[in-house]
């Protein structure tokens, strides 16, 4: 294990302990604020676009309200499903549809759902910094999914979703890490690239 990987692991563990300490009521309140900020920032650009969210696990911010608001604005939704230990795909989803276990503790549409390539990718994470760097959960699912999309010539808008307490001054980024375009927290939206009106 490299020094940077070790630093990432230590940061991940410390920040997730803080996030886990939040009460369910506090997480819900913060998630509602995230939904309001996210809808204001993304609704116009999300109309008629494929937007992938995620079904929250553990103490993650709950993006389901944000997904509902974006669908109301005309977005086509999808959720990630782990199809093997290395790969996630994004399955078409309409808000309120029945979900099945989707791997990694999450839920997703079933195998008959259409597989789509997202234009906007709402991403869970454990840690972020205010330069657009992120630390996931260590499995690399999103890194590989983004690489696959890039190989197809697609460049989705990468939007991290987290609570303020998950922010740190600097993430020990590695050369292969792809930075976020924006982060949404309960305090608002911060762009690291130029805000895009038509993804």
- Can you spell out the DSSP letters for 19-38? HHTS-HHHHHHHHHHHHHHH
Residue 164 labeled ligand binder:
no
Query: Does the domain at residues 3-191 carry the CATH identifier 2.160.10.10?
Result: no
DSSP assignment, residue 80? E
Distance CA 126, CA 183 (A): 12
Q: pLDDT, tens digit, for every residue of 161-175?
A: 999 999 999 998 877
Residue 79 labeled ligand binder:
no
User: Rounded to two decimals, what is the model's pTM?
Assistant: 0.92
Confidence check: pLDDT of 1 > 60: no
Confidence check: pLDDT of 75 > 80: yes
Residue 92 labeled ligand binder:
no
Residue 60 labeled ligand binder:
yes
Confidence check: pLDDT of 148 > 80: yes
Q: How confident is the model at residue 7 (pLDDT cuts 50, 70, 90)?
A: confident
Residue 176 labeled ligand binder:
no
Q: pLDDT, tens digit, for every residue of 23-67?
A: 999 999 999 999 999 999 999 999 999 999 999 999 999 999 999
Q: pLDDT, tens digit, for every residue of 76-124?
A: 999 999 988 788 999 999 988 999 988 888 899 999 999 999 999 999 9
Distance CA 93, CA 95 (A): 6
Residue 11 labeled ligand binder:
yes
Residue 112 labeled ligand binder:
no
Distance CA 124, CA 135 (A): 9
SS3 of residue 91 by DSSP: strand
Residue 64 labeled ligand binder:
no
DSSP assignment, residue 75? P
The pLDDT score that the predictor gives to residue 176 is: 74
DSSP assignment, residue 98? -
Beta strand pairing status for 134-135 and 100-103? unpaired
Residue 61 labeled ligand binder:
no
> Residue for token digits 């993804």?
199
Residue 130 labeled ligand binder:
no
Residue 93 labeled ligand binder:
no
Domain parsing of the chain, residue ranges: 3-191
Average pLDDT of 166-193? 91
Confidence check: pLDDT of 181 > 70: yes
DSSP secondary structure, 129-186, as one string:
ETTS-EE--SS-HHHHHHHHHHHTT---EEEEE--GGGEES-----TTPPPPSEEEET
């Amino acid at each position: 294990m490299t020094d940077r990987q070790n630093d990432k692991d230590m940061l991940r563990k410390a920040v997730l302990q803080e996030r886990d300490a939040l009460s369910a009521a506090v997480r819900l309140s913060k998630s509602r604020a995230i939904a309001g900020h996210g809808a204001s920032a993304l609704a116009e650009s999300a109309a008629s676009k494929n937007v992938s969210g995620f079904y929250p696990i553990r103490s993650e911010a709950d993006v389901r309200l944000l997904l509902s608001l974006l669908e109301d604005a005309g977005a086509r939704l999808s959720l990630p499903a782990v199809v093997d230990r290395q790969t996630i795909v994004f399955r078409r989803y309409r808000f309120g549809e029945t979900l099945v276990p989707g791997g990694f503790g999450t839920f997703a549409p079933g195998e008959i759902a259409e597989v789509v390539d997202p234009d906007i990718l709402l991403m869970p994470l454990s840690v972020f910094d205010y330069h657009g760097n992120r630390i996931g959960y260590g499995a690399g699912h999103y890194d590989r999914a983004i690489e696959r999309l890039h190989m197809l010539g697609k460049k989705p808008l990468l939007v991290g979703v987290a609570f303020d307490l998950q922010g740190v001054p600097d993430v020990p980024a590695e050369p292969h890490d792809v930075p976020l375009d924006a982060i949404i927290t309960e305090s608002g939206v911060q762009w690291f690239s130029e805000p895009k009106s038509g993804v």
